[in-house]
Amino acid sequence: MTNKTNFPDQRSTMFAPSGSSLLSEMSFLVLVAVTFLSALFLYKVLRRGHGAKTLPSGSMGLPLIGESVSFLRAQKEDRGEEWINKRVAKHGPVFKTSLMGSPTVVVIGQAGNKFVFGSDDNVLTGKQPKSFTAIAGKHQIFALTGARYKLIKGAMVSFLRPESLQNYISHMDDLVKTELLKETKEKETIMAVTFMKKLTFNIACSILFGIHDEPIKEALFTDFTLAFKAIWSIPVNFPGTLFRQGLQARSRIIKKMLPIVKKRKEELSKGTLSPRSDVISCMLALKAENQELITEEEIMDNFILLMIASHDTSATLLSLMVWKLARAPELYQKVLEEQMGILKDREEPQRQLTWNDIQKMKFTWRVAQELMRIIPPVFGNFRRAVKDTSFGGYDIPKGWQVFWVSNATHMNKDIFNDPTEFNPSRFENPSKPIPPLTYIPFGAGHHMCIGNEFARVETLIIIHHMVTKFDWSQVNPDEMITRQPMPYPSMGLPIMLNARNPSEKA
């Protein structure tokens, strides 16, 4: 009988890895494969438009992600200018990087602004990064060109130009007084950022879109808050990511709005609703040259874009105004004197504000202009090369993004004397005229923000009621600014209110 001992086969133990080492080897192979594919993808992107021979210097960062993480982190910590300046010092005023999933050329200074804002749409288009387009929609005006762009932009502008705004003043004035009284009733402290976001959102809903149902507005506000945070996120559609949350918020917005759009379409066909009632009705009535109507998808995309553009930039500026006036008593006093002067000049003290009253708020608006110079609501924005082009001696391949930066000229000492000094008088008959394309909080040229006048009127009406009814102080005097992606006081700006007339808070 043979004594058989069960030893393991040495050949199998020599060549077959254990469970843990097998996992490690597989992980290594996956890593190698991903790295190779990412490198191949990046190489092809860089080679796209291979006629480009002289790319600017710079770093493309990690495969696929690029430098998006460090850029977004710098934005959140309000170090965006530092992030840009570090690369300008190393590579010059034109450099390459990769942001939001696309290769990007960053251009700095007046010449760069002229290139971006002066280029025709057949050179640079307003197409935005993948995250923005996925959430705002592929049919919003930034993504359109030609006749379709002019048609939809024309409909929006018709509601935002000064002649139309004059008709909204009394309605906006009533809304602000009502919402301010509601927010401050029996309260000594309010969260100014949240209040300004809700107030400007309600104004946009009511005046621009004719949405008055309170539960609908509340639900839309929650979803738009998420969507806006996600438009400058890394476009990774995994559970839990900000991008995924933004996509889900977009879906909910569309689900809530489609019944409203369908109802208005029916009312328009019956003649019970005028196309001039609101922006949605106006777009529903639009017809292209071939008599083709605007689709519901186009209406949804442009509703989302205009809602984002019309309320968040204004909320940013208003939050910064409240923040600045709390920190600068001398500025607050001058703004108060101007606004009280408007009240005293009225023949009927209780009447609503008028267009003429708004035009008298010159110093208040200069404070806003100076704030937007030092802390621009929009740090910068993207364009996209439609074809191979060039700037500053460098080639920009077709499909690459071009990113412009407002601070580059706003804080340039050769353009603005003592640029770090807060000085609203620089916008009042300046001895040194501001050169064109250097002050760009709303963009410039035919790419100027279509809602800039709406934002001015809205801001001035709200500040008028804030300073004539209250003075205030910061709960956290050292509260700093962070970008989300707009610049906001980092703690939500809690302020303590003191009513000038105690009955205002009754």
| Helix, strand, or coil (residue 93) | coil
Instruction: Indicate the residue type of 12.
Output: S
d(CA 223, CA 360): 37
282 annotated binding-site participant: no
Within a domain: residue 41?
Answer: no
Q: Closest Cα partner for 63 from 83, 87, 37?
A: 37
Within a domain: residue 394?
Answer: yes
Within a domain: residue 359?
Answer: yes
Residue 384 phi, psi (nearest 5) = -135, 135
Within a domain: residue 117?
Answer: yes
Q: What is the DSSP string of 41-59?
A: HHHHHHHSSTT---PPPB-
Q: Where are the alpha helices (DSSP H) in 271-295?
A: 279-285
d(CA 372, CA 212): 31
Strands 487-489 and 481-483: antiparallel
Query: What residue numbers bound the domain in which 162 lies?
Result: 68-505
Tokens in use for 25?
């080897």
Within a domain: residue 16?
Answer: no
Q: Residue for token digits 């900000």?
A: 242
**Could you count the other beta carbons within 10 Å of the beta carbon of residue 240?**
7
How many structural domains does the chain have?
1
DSSP count for the chain of H helices, then E strands: 19, 12
Q: What is the DSSP string of 155-221?
A: HHHHHHSHHHHTTTHHHHHHHHHHHHHHHHTT-SEEEHHHHHHHHHHHHIIIIIT----HHHHHHHH
d(CA 303, CA 156): 10
Let me know how long the chain is.
Answer: 506
Within a domain: residue 449?
Answer: yes
Within a domain: residue 31?
Answer: no
Within a domain: residue 150?
Answer: yes
d(CA 177, CA 155): 29
d(CA 108, CA 405): 6
pLDDT tens across the length of the chain (506 residues)? 444 433 333 333 333 333 444 334 444 444 444 445 555 555 555 545 444 469 999 999 998 889 999 998 998 888 999 999 999 999 999 999 999 889 999 999 999 999 999 998 889 988 888 888 899 998 888 877 778 888 888 888 888 888 888 999 999 999 999 999 999 988 889 999 999 999 999 999 999 999 999 999 999 999 999 998 888 888 888 998 999 999 999 999 999 999 999 999 999 999 999 999 999 999 999 887 666 788 899 999 999 998 988 778 899 999 999 999 999 999 999 999 999 999 888 777 667 899 999 999 999 999 999 999 999 998 999 999 999 999 999 999 999 999 999 999 999 999 999 999 999 999 987 667 899 999 999 888 777 888 889 999 999 999 999 999 999 999 999 999 988 778 999 999 999 999 887 665 54
What CATH number does residue 475 fall under? 1.10.630.10
